[in-house]
Amino acid sequence: MGAETFALAGPSGAGKSTLLRAVAGLTPGADVTVDGDDWTALPPERRSVGFVFQDYALFPHLTVRRNVEFAGPSGDLLERLRIANLADARPRELSGGERQRVALARALARRPRVLLLDEPLAALDPHTRDAVRGELRATLRELALPTIVVTHDYLDAAALADRVGVLVRGELVQEGTAEALIAGPSSPFVAEFAGACLLRGHARRDGDLTRVTLADGTEIASTDAATGDVAAVVYPWEVTLGPDQPTDSAQNHVVGRVTAVVPVANRVRVTVGAVTAEVTAASAARLALREGDEAFATWKAAGTRLIPL
């Protein structure tokens, strides 16, 4: 495999961690080949992997320096991961982000051929998570090591990896760049996992357009060609909200009651009927939408993906 970061994303129980443990040799019995070398018969200590565990699994009885040097000489790793000032601290004295950097430094001290990260952001609180995600992304770019990241969060996968594979019940259902998966999800599951809302309906061709009749009679349009039962993929960040019916015929819209208004970082997710819109906090404030209000959710007909069911 090339020196790229590959994210294995999927819901809990999809077999992501099992796959990672199999590569590391912790779950025996799986055929593992890395760059033409057969690792199948090798015990974990003879496989050249840098494994960062979900809870980091630092040695609680050793200092940061001894944790890192357990695997090999620390070289400039403490400096590179900005933990040199913590060299004599014990893991229990560290913050979540610091623990993660120690775990990464320790994995790298092994001089691994492959880096394996199991839910590297899951043990962090939401506030730390955003900052650490950015740091980790920069570190992974700099390392240029073949890396597999396992995550149940599509945003983490998209942020950290060059390519994303979606794993469902032990099967790789789609693989590509994060953008490609969002632009052309192969199944309703992938679309939903990537953050889309799905509108199920019946499609028929109408000139250059496809018109989809939803269960409640609403009709939406798409530039994708399809007939029969389909799922229309609508991403929250492509949806705008308004109190009035839009007049532009190139726009799709649904009308409904606002059922949820949830702030996420500096944006607000507003659910109108079956569609969720993600708008800036400023525009949410301007609209002053509250649960129970009637609103129109609007998005472009072009770029509305249709997945045959």
Give the tokens for residue 93.
């004295």
- If binding is defined by CB under 8 A, does position 65 make contact with another protein? no
Looking up tokens 């939401």 gives: 126
Residue (106 or 267) nearer to another protein, CB: 106
Among 61, 73, 125, 288, interactor with another protein by CB under 8 A: 61
Tell how strand 147-151 and strand 5-9 pair up: parallel
d(CA 4, CA 194): 21
Give 76 or 125: the residue with its C-beta nearer to another protein: 125
Per-residue mark of binding to another protein, 13-52 (x: CB under 8 A):
xxxxxx--x--xxx----------------xxxxx-xxx-
CB 42 within 8 A of CB 25: yes
Residue 210 CA to residue 223 CA, distance in Å, equals 6
CA dihedral 53, 58, 60, 64 (to 10 degrees): -160
Range list of β-strands (E), 182-293: 197-206, 209-214, 219-222, 228-234, 240-242, 251-264, 267-272, 275-280
Beta carbons of 250 and 302 less than 8 angstroms apart: yes
Residue 86 beta carbon to another protein: minimum distance, rounded to whole angstroms: 16
Residue among 4, 38, 55, 248 that touches another protein (CB under 8 A) = 55
Task: Give the shortest CB-88-to-another protein separation in angstroms.
Answer: 17
Q: Under the criterion CB under 8 A, does residue 57 sit at the interface with another protein?
A: yes
Q: Which of residues 159-198 bind another protein (CB under 8 A)?
A: none
Residues binding another protein (CB under 8 A): 12-18, 21, 24-26, 43-47, 49-51, 53-61, 70-72, 91-92, 96, 99, 106-107, 109-110, 118-119, 122-123, 150, 152
